[in-house]
Structure 1
Amino acid sequence: MKRFLATTALCLLPAMAQATALEDAPWAPRAAAYRLTLFLGNLDPMPWDLLDSSWTTPVAGSARDIAAFENMTESETRGISQALEDQDRQALFLAATDVIENGILRSLAKASDNLGTPEAAQHIARAETLYRAFADGIQAADRSGFHQNGRAWLALNSAVGSAGLSQAGALEADRDAFNAARETIETYLMQNYTAADFMPRSTLTTVPETIHSSGAEIEVPVALPPGSNIADQRELPRLVLQFEEAGLDEADMPLVAYGDMLFDSPEIFGGPARDLGMACSTCHNRSDVNRDFFIPGLSSHAGGMDVDGSFFNSMFNDRTDDHLDTPSMRGIRFTAPYGRDGRESSLRRFTRNVIVTEFAGKEPTPFQLDALIAYMRQFDFLPNPKIDDAGRLTDLASEAAKRGEALFNTPFEGLNGRACATCHTPDRNFRDGMTYDIGSSEAPFEGGTVTQFDTPTLRNINFSAPYMHDGSLPTLESVVDWFNDSKSLGLDDAERGDLTAYLYAVGDGEDPYQVFKGRETTFRLAWEELTTFASTLNTLIPMQDAENIALLVDTVAADLAADASTMVNQAAKADVYRLSSLLRAAGDASAGDNWAEAAAAWDAFKTLQSELDEAMY
């Protein structure tokens, strides 16, 4: 189960992409605006309207629901406003950096003025939340400075003193220690974050200026801005797999199991998607849609993004803000062509395009594509007892839905004499495999040809809002209203209600979300998935396929260790780390061409897994 590791600026740099979602700590409003400025300022083209709103309105992911401007001085506000008005990228970066540095210095001064009172600790806390905006750049570029500053922050917090509890345990403030720690931090900031001394930067980063001006090549870990959410949605979709419904075990189907692992692996993508821990399943949770997915600057609303911008693959940048809604992959073997515009009839070629073109991954091997396609072709729709095999409503549907079915099959002049069912053909899974211009997009230039979009299936659509290719319509009611208005269908309120009821009937599905209770926890689900992925070593080790073993181990070993944080049975956490180490040992041995040692480590993994299975929840 692939999820995003939301790293904070003060944590250790990850050695590789991991998968367990951690809630990102809220940002101070000014720090949130600053981090958004860095992220949006590195997009091409820059979204100046979003940059403006990041300072003038509250930012999602902020600790408090206030705009950054509300905590800034008049001169700071003027500097940001002027840079935004001039659309001057470098001036905005300098003014924004000043806001953070000045805010830290002011808070430390207030802490000094209030030393020995509770207010002093509050001011230090405010200063630390602003320092967080710089910390990842310092950590990446200047490890010694990062640790020096870290010790200084600890000293500051220890030196402010405490009134204790009920006059017991009081600690006197230590002004000498406070001043020494304050000087350490302030000197570092003034040497490295005084914007007037900055050299121009082609990429806006938080790397300290003394390091940047030296010309050193520094790679700051990829980070998403405040307000981002690429973790699994809280209600996990139920995954319906054809082989499971037939009573088969995925562990007995190594190609499918390996494809399942690849679908959950960030290792098949290039940076930055790989570095963020993104996988196919990040957007397509358990074959359906991650309705919570959102990245400011890339997503116009939750549930999709612009996949051909500059962030994931600059070579694929079409310089157009064209957010696409994430389509469900349920029943994907029945829903060709692929892509919202139906540009690809082959699922294999489309999958390769997503990996290489959209997310800058290296060329997948034929075996890897075979595995991915074998797995994805197992995705099925949620069963829906309200429709029969031909797509007709059953007796379980409401009377309103049955009236709506008649409307759905009625030709309308506004649809050029066709019915809704002409394109959303009931006995073809409510689709026809064709593309159309329905008036939902504009031509790219005057006299240009409007993009056509494929007919999406209506099966299970109750769980994949929003709707249309760009996700511009939030509900099925709004979809019916849009067609009624744009195509002059002439439906009255009752008829629109009946047609909507019909859509809800055909779009329904049984048990749409994963149920967790008792021993069936999120970790148990991850445990069963990850150990099934690992089972492909039964095939890969005898094949001596070191390349695919390495990819599997890099994915599964990291995920096992990371997922341990979600365990209910915390006493068994150490055992998960032991298993992860055995998997690593098998991978290291195979990389060294020591196949006997790899097989021994894998046998030890299987033995320990069997012994521990009941405790894994």
Structure 2
Amino acid sequence: MKNLISAALVGLLPVAAGATAIEQAPWAPRSAAYRLTLFMGNLTPVPWEKIENSWTAPAPGSALSEDAMSRVTPAEASAISAALAAQDRQALFEAATAVVAQGILRHLEAAESALGQPNAAYEVAKAEALFRAFEDGIKAADAKAARDLGRAWLVLNSSLGTAGVLGHGAQETDAKRFAAARATLETYLTENYLPAAYAEREKLTPVPESAVRSGTPVTLPATLPPGSNIADQRELPRLVLQFEEAGEDEANLPLVAYGDMLFDSPEIFGAPARELGIACSTCHNRSDVNRDFFIPGLSKYAGGMDVDGSFFNPMFNDRADDHLDTPSMRGIRFTAPYGRDGREPSLRRFIRNVIVTEFAGDEPTPFQLDALEAYVKQFDFLPNPKIDRAGRLTDLASDAAKRGEELFNTEFTGLGDRSCASCHTPERNFRDGLTYDIGTAEPPFPGGTPIHFETPTLRNINFTAPYLHDGSLPTLASVVDWFDASKDLGLDEAQRADLTAYLEAVGDGEEPYQAFEGRDSVFRLSWEELTTFASTLDTLLPMRDAQNIALLVDTVAPDLAADASVMVNQNSKPEIYKFAAILRAVGDASAAGDWDEAGLQWSQFKAMQAEIDERMY
């Protein structure tokens, strides 16, 4: 639910139709470099420099602060380096695959040599950490082999023996069983990941060689590379909604509530975003920005990514590495035009563009666009008592900020005899609705016209770092320094500090983060929002709208079950699974056209909600 949950699993696996993100466990350095190579090697164009960095510097998502090249043999390093220098995808795939496979075999050999000693278990663990790089490819291509290899790993570990505790529970080392299990793994790895010749690969994947050569289609689950983070930031932004501030219940606004659900639903996007559980709220976390969002190869800085690359929608690929910082959606009804470059004049068109163009989703229905637009128009800015309704500083602002306000309204030659306030107009929420070339983007070719970017609001910007369209400046002070230097404003150190203080004053906001205490838990927030989403069935069931009922159920039911993992009241956890199953039954009945049964199940859902509500925290 709004990506509220983080859990460590073996890898970043696809999330079944829900927006509950899963944090992946750290990877071994060589496995991390290998999976980054596969992911980035499939991008168009291939970001060769980033792939090289994943081998020569500690890779994102690596468990250790060591580069992968420090853990390979000289011959392996030479093969990797040669493939990178030649920018040869196939050669790099072969060299990288051999690095991982040979590493597993070397660790298993070392483990067998150390049987009976503590180091044997350490070597087996390192071998397993490397095997993780191949594991999902084997599971997808050959379920039987995956089971056989899984048993082999269990036998390896159980054959190591143990000294027990204080002399009790000791087990003898079983060298024969260990050798047999090692042979099973070695045979499979040699045949499938160290063949005499590799098949040419159009798409780089960890699928075993035997499956590739057989020509049998293999469907791999969508995965993100090591170092990816699509879970919520640790401090959840406070969500300010117009209707809540006015004392209205969202359940009484079914169009808004359904839009809220769609904002949280991966189901409106195409693959792979849908399979990974990415929703609007993944990046625009609780109307603001998920400052921790990061995907290696797509993101230059945390909090943004290249939205028109080849991964999410190849048809929209501009073949340029043009990272965009994610803008806040607070007060979005006041901030047209939309998109960093102001390409969309209407909010409705912008929403449709994100779904269909950026994330390859199906064309949304008019009802779905109505709902999404109705919901996001409820987003408001955080209240800021340091500015009045006209954007002027109040007495609560510091003296430095007030001196900065004078500078903000001063005309400078370097700004074309205009002031900062000419574009960031205080009485218009510190923006003017126009686009400009301020020198932050290069022309697409010599003599060409650079992209113009729209004037962003300055309201609540204290919480949206980094800054500029590409997130290249980390602080407001660095923004002031950049403008001073690039526009020859001639500000001294004290003036720059005053102007920074002014920006911090107008960019402030009350209670910027969601507070949790006692019964007001993370799960309670999820519970209240998910059950509000479900309340739209009171409208959808009489309409017999099976399509939107299915979308709602496919979003809410799995999120309810997933979010149960963070309940404070763990005794009530089993009730959540039963609750989610009833909601799923509503969806099944409506899909079958059995509206009487759907209504009956919905009545049971509401009755159970009333019964268990107090225990849900």
TM range (shorter): over 0.9
Q: How does 1:213-292 map to 2 (within 5 A)?
A: 213-292=213-292
Q: How does 1:98-137 map to 2 (within 5 A)?
A: 98-137=98-137
Give me the whole-angstrom Cα distance separating, in 2, the residues matched to 1:593 and 1:214: 42
2:343 corresponding residue in structure 1: 343
Q: How does 1:513-528 map to 2 (within 5 A)?
A: 513-528=513-528
Give me the whole-angstrom Cα distance separating, in 2, the residues matched to 1:147 and 1:2: 35
2:42 corresponding residue in structure 1: 42
The answer for unaligned runs of 5 or more in structure 1 is none
Is residue 463 of structure 2 the alignment partner of residue 463 of structure 1? Answer: yes
Is residue 517 of structure 2 the alignment partner of residue 486 of structure 1? Answer: no
2:206 corresponding residue in structure 1: 206
Deviation at 1:15, TM superposition (A): 7.8
Is residue 449 of structure 2 the alignment partner of residue 438 of structure 1? Answer: no
Give me the whole-angstrom Cα distance separating, in 1, the residues matched to 2:13 and 2:389: 52
Deviation at 1:381, TM superposition (A): 0.1
2:75 corresponding residue in structure 1: 75
Distance 1:484 1:13, change over 3 A: closer
Instruction: Look up the SS of the partner of 1:197 in the other structure.
Output: coil
Contact kept in structure 1, 2:19 and 2:282, CA below 8 Å: no
Contact kept in structure 2, 1:289 and 1:328, CA below 8 Å: yes
1:530 corresponding residue in structure 2: 530
Contact kept in structure 2, 1:4 and 1:278, CA below 8 Å: no
Give me the whole-angstrom Cα distance separating, in 1, the residues matched to 2:140 and 2:301: 32
Give me the whole-angstrom Cα distance separating, in 1, the residues matched to 2:5 and 2:32: 18
Instruction: Look up the SS of the partner of 1:274 in the other structure.
Output: helix
2:31 corresponding residue in structure 1: 31
Deviation at 1:13, TM superposition (A): 7.1
2:553 corresponding residue in structure 1: 553
Contact kept in structure 2, 1:386 and 1:505, CA below 8 Å: yes
Instruction: Look up the SS of the partner of 1:223 in the other structure.
Output: coil
The letter for the 2-side match of 1:339 is G
Give me the whole-angstrom Cα distance separating, in 1, the residues matched to 2:15 and 2:76: 38
Note the alpha carbon deviations across 1:65-97, whole angstroms, 9 max, x for none.
111111111111111111111111100000000
Distance 1:7 1:90, change over 3 A: farther
Deviation at 1:606, TM superposition (A): 0.7
Contact kept in structure 1, 2:9 and 2:22, CA below 8 Å: no
Distance 1:66 1:125, change over 3 A: same
Deviation at 1:14, TM superposition (A): 5.7
Give me the whole-angstrom Cα distance separating, in 1, the residues matched to 2:288 and 2:6: 22
Give me the whole-angstrom Cα distance separating, in 1, the residues matched to 2:365 and 2:36: 37
2:84 corresponding residue in structure 1: 84
Give me the whole-angstrom Cα distance separating, in 1, the residues matched to 2:489 and 2:69: 48
Note the alpha carbon deviations across 1:482-505, whole angstroms, 9 max, x for none.
111111111111111111100000
Q: How does 1:134-213 map to 2 (within 5 A)?
A: 134-213=134-213
The letter for the 1-side match of 2:152 is A
Deviation at 1:20, TM superposition (A): 2.6
Is residue 572 of structure 2 the alignment partner of residue 541 of structure 1? Answer: no
Give me the whole-angstrom Cα distance separating, in 2, the residues matched to 1:25 and 1:194: 27
Contact kept in structure 2, 1:10 and 1:136, CA below 8 Å: no
The letter for the 1-side match of 2:448 is G
1:453 corresponding residue in structure 2: 453
Contact kept in structure 2, 1:114 and 1:120, CA below 8 Å: yes
The letter for the 2-side match of 1:69 is M
| Paired positions, count | 617
Q: Please say which of residues 543-552 and 107-116 is displaced more in the overlay.
A: 107-116
Distance 1:510 1:11, change over 3 A: closer
The letter for the 2-side match of 1:222 is A
Is residue 391 of structure 2 the alignment partner of residue 391 of structure 1? Answer: yes
Higher relative contact order (CA 8 A, sep 6+): 2
Note the alpha carbon deviations across 1:249-304, whole angstroms, 9 max, x for none.
00000000000000000000001111110000000000000111111110111110
Contact kept in structure 2, 1:19 and 1:563, CA below 8 Å: no
Deviation at 1:334, TM superposition (A): 0.2
Contact kept in structure 1, 2:284 and 2:329, CA below 8 Å: yes
Is residue 326 of structure 2 the alignment partner of residue 361 of structure 1? Answer: no
Give me the whole-angstrom Cα distance separating, in 2, the residues matched to 1:13 and 1:498: 48
Note the alpha carbon deviations across 1:453-504, whole angstroms, 9 max, x for none.
1000000000000111111111000010111111111111111111110000
Give me the whole-angstrom Cα distance separating, in 1, the residues matched to 2:171 and 2:487: 75
Give me the whole-angstrom Cα distance separating, in 2, the residues matched to 1:592 and 1:226: 41
Residue identity (%)? 69
Instruction: Look up the SS of the partner of 1:322 in the other structure.
Output: coil
The letter for the 1-side match of 2:141 is A
Deviation at 1:23, TM superposition (A): 2.9
Give me the whole-angstrom Cα distance separating, in 2, the residues matched to 1:534 and 1:99: 50
Deviation at 1:192, TM superposition (A): 1.1
Instruction: Look up the SS of the partner of 2:274 in the other structure.
Output: coil
Give me the whole-angstrom Cα distance separating, in 1, the residues matched to 2:387 and 2:8: 48
Deviation at 1:386, TM superposition (A): 0.3
Q: How does 1:472-483 map to 2 (within 5 A)?
A: 472-483=472-483
Contact kept in structure 2, 1:94 and 1:195, CA below 8 Å: no
Deviation at 1:568, TM superposition (A): 1.4
Query: What TM-score does the superposition give when structure 1 sets the normalisation length?
Result: 0.98
Deviation at 1:167, TM superposition (A): 2.6
CA RMSD of aligned residues (A): 1.4
Note the alpha carbon deviations across 1:346-365, whole angstroms, 9 max, x for none.
10011100000000000000
2:298 corresponding residue in structure 1: 298
